[in-house]
């Protein structure tokens, strides 16, 4: 099978063709030298790309379904974190060989998530080599309304969607570092392999948020990005960290460490001004299908980037070691 047949068979989906007018903004999709996409005059293009390499970003035995889901989700998550609407994506696929069972599973799952999130595959590239998947997502935002990392102000409340640390616990379980019940194991491993991009939440919060980031590298690290860009510090209430039942079943110190430092959750972390908090609670939090939790406040009292708990202990300084490569080693570390 040649490259062209492969593209036709697996990536030229019924809902993606260059002569259909139900495809929002797709003037030319797959099949020409490049895609042509239509923007409205009051919109800006928001775009992001992420690459997943076998053996680096996912274990070699990861099912094709999970790879497809994760490759698209992590990109959609970046679009959500910008408060943008995801519209189109391109796929650069490097395959070691043409494995039809793998390609069918990959394309079926990619198409399912694309349909669910209303994004259209408009092009890509197919090459031979070690397995690697790059997806570039494009979305739109009203002119100058993108949610940036730089907008947090002292006094703003810090919120997070969903629960934290589940994916890292899932990884620790796969690697044999944690022994979980079958139910907890299934939940956390699904959180790792099938993350949900918080697109609807990004849309719901965009009128209120002053800054936003998606939690891909752990709460402390990603909050640190907001703080550095916003030239601020923060106080976090550890008692408020949203923990799933699975993390609640762990020792509380260990659960907090996963929630603070575990990566791959793809939840949205954002700030809302204190004076908008009540309206935000009424209009968004109470109605939102995904849990949204206030976990702390932006401050100007400490060094830029510093994150303290409510007892004044610096969570990012030495003596509170969250940053071991192997998070399970943290059990033994001093706090």
Q: Which is nearer to Mg ion, 24 or 125 (CB)?
A: 125
Q: What whole-number distance in Å separates Cα of residue 128 and Cα of residue 132? A: 10
Which of these, 139, 142, 140, lies nearest to 42 by C-alpha position? 142
Judged by CB under 6 A, the stretch of 81-89, 94-102, 122-130, 267-275 that binds ligand ADP is 122-130
Q: Which is nearer to ligand ADP, 5 or 24 (CB)?
A: 5
Backbone angles phi, psi at 250, to 5 degrees: -90, 165
Q: Where are the beta strands (DSSP E) in 54-196?
A: 85-95, 120-128, 132-142, 157-161
Q: Return the one option of ligand ADP, Mg ion, none that residue 131 interacts with (CB less than 5 to 8 A, by type).
A: none
**DSSP bridge pairs for 136:** 49, 90
Q: Return the one option of Mg ion, ligand ADP, none that residue 40 interacts with (CB less than 5 to 8 A, by type).
A: none
Q: Which is nearer to ligand ADP, 35 or 215 (CB)?
A: 35
Name the residue with the smallest CB distance to Mg ion. 125
Q: Figure out which of the listed residues 8, 32, 116, 125 binds Mg ion, where binding follows CB under 5 A.
A: 125
Smallest gap from Cβ 36 to ligand ADP, in A, equals 11
Q: Figure out which of the listed residues 24, 116, 125, 203 binds ligand ADP, where binding follows CB under 6 A.
A: 125
Q: Figure out which of the listed residues 25, 31, 63, 273 binds ligand ADP, where binding follows CB under 6 A.
A: 31
Smallest gap from Cβ 55 to ligand ADP, in A, equals 21
Q: How many residues does the chain have?
A: 335
Q: 95 in helix, strand or coil?
A: strand
**DSSP bridge pairs for 32:** 30
Q: Is residue 180 within the footprint of ligand ADP (CB under 6 A)?
A: no
**Quick one: tokens of 286?**
């109470």
Q: What whole-number distance in Å separates Cα of residue 159 and Cα of residue 181? A: 30
Q: Which is nearer to ligand ADP, 120 or 271 (CB)?
A: 120
Q: Is residue 32 within the footprint of Mg ion (CB under 5 A)?
A: no
Smallest gap from Cβ 135 to ligand ADP, in A, equals 10
Judged by CB under 6 A, the stretch of 27-35, 40-48, 178-186, 257-265 that binds ligand ADP is 27-35
Q: Is residue 205 within the footprint of ligand ADP (CB under 6 A)?
A: no
Q: What whole-number distance in Å separates Cα of residue 98 and Cα of residue 328? A: 38
Backbone angles phi, psi at 90, to 5 degrees: -120, 155
Q: Which is nearer to ligand ADP, 10 or 258 (CB)?
A: 10
Q: At 215, which helix (H) or strand (E)? A: strand 211-215
**DSSP bridge pairs for 51:** 134
Q: Contact 295/201 with Cβ under 8 angstroms?
A: no
What is the binding site for Mg ion (CB under 5 A)? 125
The residues that touch ligand ADP, with contacts defined as CB under 6 A, are 7, 11, 30-33, 91, 93, 121, 123-126
């Amino acid at each position: 099978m040649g490259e062209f047949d492969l593209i036709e068979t697996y990536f030229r989906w019924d809902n993606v063709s260059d002569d259909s007018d139900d495809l929002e903004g797709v003037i030319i999709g797959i099949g020409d030298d490049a895609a042509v996409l239509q923007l409205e005059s009051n919109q800006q293009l928001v775009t992001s790309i992420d690459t997943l390499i076998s053996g680096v970003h996912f274990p070699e035995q990861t099912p094709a379904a999970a790879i497809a889901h994760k490759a698209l989700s992590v990109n959609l998550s970046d679009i959500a974190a910008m408060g943008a609407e995801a519209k189109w994506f391109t796929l650069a696929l490097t395959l070691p060989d043409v494995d039809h069972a793998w390609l069918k599973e990959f394309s079926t799952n990619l198409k399912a998530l694309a349909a669910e999130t209303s994004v259209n595959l408009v092009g890509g590239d197919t090459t031979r080599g070690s397995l690697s998947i790059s997806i570039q997502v494009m979305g739109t935002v009203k002119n100058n309304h993108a949610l940036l990392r730089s907008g947090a102000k002292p006094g703003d409340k810090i919120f997070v969607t969903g629960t934290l640390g589940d994916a890292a616990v899932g990884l620790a379980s796969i690697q044999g570092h944690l022994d979980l019940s079958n139910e907890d194991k299934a939940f956390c491993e699904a959180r790792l392999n099938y993350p949900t991009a918080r697109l609807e939440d990004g849309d719901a919060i965009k009128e209120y948020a002053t800054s936003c980031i998606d939690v891909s590298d752990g709460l402390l690290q990603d909050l640190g990005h907001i703080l550095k860009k916003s030239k601020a510090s923060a106080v976090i209430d550890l008692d408020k960290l949203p923990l799933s039942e699975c993390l609640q079943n762990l020792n509380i110190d260990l659960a907090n460490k996963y929630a603070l430092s575990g990566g791959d959750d793809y939840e949205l972390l954002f700030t809302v001004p204190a004076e908008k908090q009540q309206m935000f609670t009424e209009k968004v939090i109470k109605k939102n299908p995904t849990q949204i939790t206030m976990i702390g406040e932006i401050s100007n009292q400490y060094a830029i980037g510093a994150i303290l708990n409510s007892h004044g202990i610096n969570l990012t300084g030495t003596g509170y070691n969250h940053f071991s490569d192997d998070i399970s080693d943290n059990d033994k570390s001093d706090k």
